[in-house]
């Protein structure tokens, strides 16, 4: 079998996987864990809308919307708290999987679907992306003993290394260190920055990864809910890698950057603990499960510290609840 550069292999494998399988059967994302996640993000969207001057029309975009659960919860809260915003909102989903589009249609039938960000109509923007960047394909470079670089390719289910030129690297690397670069994720963040600078608004990314750039192999796969070999049987498993939030911020540096902050700090700043207490009082028979869901989203030993969030904003946005300005 011919060798294939890792990012090409990952893109092909995930295209096959997402076109034929529901990834949420392998793992639960935050919106699937609890409605509280979408509810507090809805409150953030309402706050952003007000900071933008309450425009008469706004493009509400979600990249990688899964089954549509997050947007369904956001619509429900918006309609209850600030009905006028629903008259201004055009909801857009960036999704290429026919299987997931069908699931999203069942939950948010007012959405318009797009294959990419560029095809979304211009206009004031609120963009959300939860566990989207991690599935975009990465390249891996290995520092060679002679201070050069080798790039990882895949051949016959294993890595091989090919002498290569590495892109600009802000890190000091020792021989054997692995440097991951996610070019599509950086490009998406740069496009998001260009959009909010042009039209106004905010783009928010939540994903698992690290706040500072570093080295190491983070490529991983899930099969039947368990870790699996990412190079075996492409298309049968979901391939992801940790997001380098510092690299995303550098890619979007033309805009104003808030964060990165941990998911726990973001959701706590948006009032999720208080929402959990309110839900538990209203549903005492579900109090234990509500508390468990809140802990899973917030606790440092669960998703609270591993997951981070970053906001890319127009310079007119002076502050965002849950975020600190960089």
Between 166 and 322, name the one with better pLDDT: 322
What is the end-to-end Cα distance of the chain in Å, rounded? 47
Of 128-142, 158-172, 189-203, 246-260, the least confident = 158-172
325 pLDDT higher than 60: no
Instruction: Answer yes or no: are the C-beta atoms of 309 and 263 closer than 8 Å.
Output: yes
Tell me the C-alpha distance between 33 and 185, whole Å: 25
324 pLDDT higher than 70: no
Mean pLDDT of 7-17: 95
Does the domain at residues 17-136+182-313 carry the CATH identifier 3.40.1000.10? no
CA angle 189/245/322 to nearest 5° reads 95
Instruction: Answer yes or no: are the C-beta atoms of 92 and 112 closer than 8 Å.
Output: yes
pLDDT tens for 146-166 read: 878 999 999 999 999 999 988
- CA-to-CA separations, 294 to 39, 71, 264, 271, 277, in angstroms, rounded: 13, 19, 10, 11, 10
Torsion sign over Cα 66, 196, 121, 46? positive
262 pLDDT higher than 80: yes
Q: Is 211 helix (H, G, I), strand (E, B) or coil?
A: coil
Instruction: Answer yes or no: are the C-beta atoms of 238 and 222 closer than 8 Å.
Output: yes
Mean pLDDT of 284-301: 98
Task: Kindly give the pairing relationship between strand 158-164 and strand 149-155.
Answer: antiparallel
In the chain, where the domains are located:
17-136+182-313
112 pLDDT higher than 60: yes
Tell me the C-alpha distance between 213 and 186, whole Å: 13
pTM metric for this prediction: 0.95
The DSSP annotation for 45-72 comes to HHHHHHHTT--S-EEEEEES-TTSHHHH
Torsion (CA) 96, 99, 102, 108 in degrees, nearest 10: -60
60 pLDDT higher than 80: yes
Q: Is 54 exposed, middle or buried (0-12, 13-18, 19+ CB in 10 A)?
A: middle
Chain mean position to CA 46: 20
Count how many residues are written for the chain: 326
Q: Is 302 helix (H, G, I), strand (E, B) or coil?
A: coil
Instruction: Answer yes or no: are the C-beta atoms of 126 and 49 closer than 8 Å.
Output: yes
Q: What is the pLDDT of residue 170?
A: 65
């Amino acid at each position: 079998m011919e060798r294939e550069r890792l990012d090409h292999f990952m893109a092909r494998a995930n295209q096959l996987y997402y076109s034929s399988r529901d990834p949420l059967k392998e793992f639960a994302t935050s919106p699937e864990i609890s409605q509280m996640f979408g509810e507090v993000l809805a409150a953030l969207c309402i706050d952003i809308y007000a900071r933008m001057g309450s425009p008469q029309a706004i493009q509400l975009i979600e990249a990688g919307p899964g089954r549509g659960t997050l947007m369904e919860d956001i619509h429900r809260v918006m309609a209850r708290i600030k009905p006028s915003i629903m008259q201004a909102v055009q909801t857009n989903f960036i999704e290429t999987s026919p299987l997931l589009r069908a699931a999203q249609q069942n939950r948010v039938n007012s959405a318009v679907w797009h294959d990419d960000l560029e095809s979304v109509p211009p206009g004031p923007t609120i963009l959300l992306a939860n566990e989207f960047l991690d599935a975009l394909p990465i390249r891996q470079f290995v520092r060679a003993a002679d201070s050069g670089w080798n790039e990882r390719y895949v051949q016959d289910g294993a890595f091989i290394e090919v002498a290569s030129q590495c892109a600009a690297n802000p890190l000091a690397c020792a021989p054997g260190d692995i440097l991951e670069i996610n070019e599509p994720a950086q490009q998406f963040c740069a496009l998001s920055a260009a959009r909010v600078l042009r039209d106004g608004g905010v783009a928010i990314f939540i994903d698992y990864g690290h706040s500072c750039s570093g080295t190491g192999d983070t490529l991983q796969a899930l099969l039947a809910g368990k870790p699996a070999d990412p190079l075996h049987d492409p298309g049968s498993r979901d391939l992801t890698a940790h997001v380098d939030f510092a690299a995303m911020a550098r890619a979007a540096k033309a805009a104003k950057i808030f964060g990165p902050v941990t998911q726990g700090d973001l959701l706590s700043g948006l009032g999720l603990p208080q929402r959990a207490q309110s839900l538990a009082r209203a549903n005492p028979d579900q109090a234990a499960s509500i508390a468990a869901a809140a802990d899973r989203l917030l606790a440092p030993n669960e998703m609270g510290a591993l997951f981070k969030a970053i906001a890319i904003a127009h310079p007119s946005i002076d502050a965002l609840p849950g975020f600190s300005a960089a």
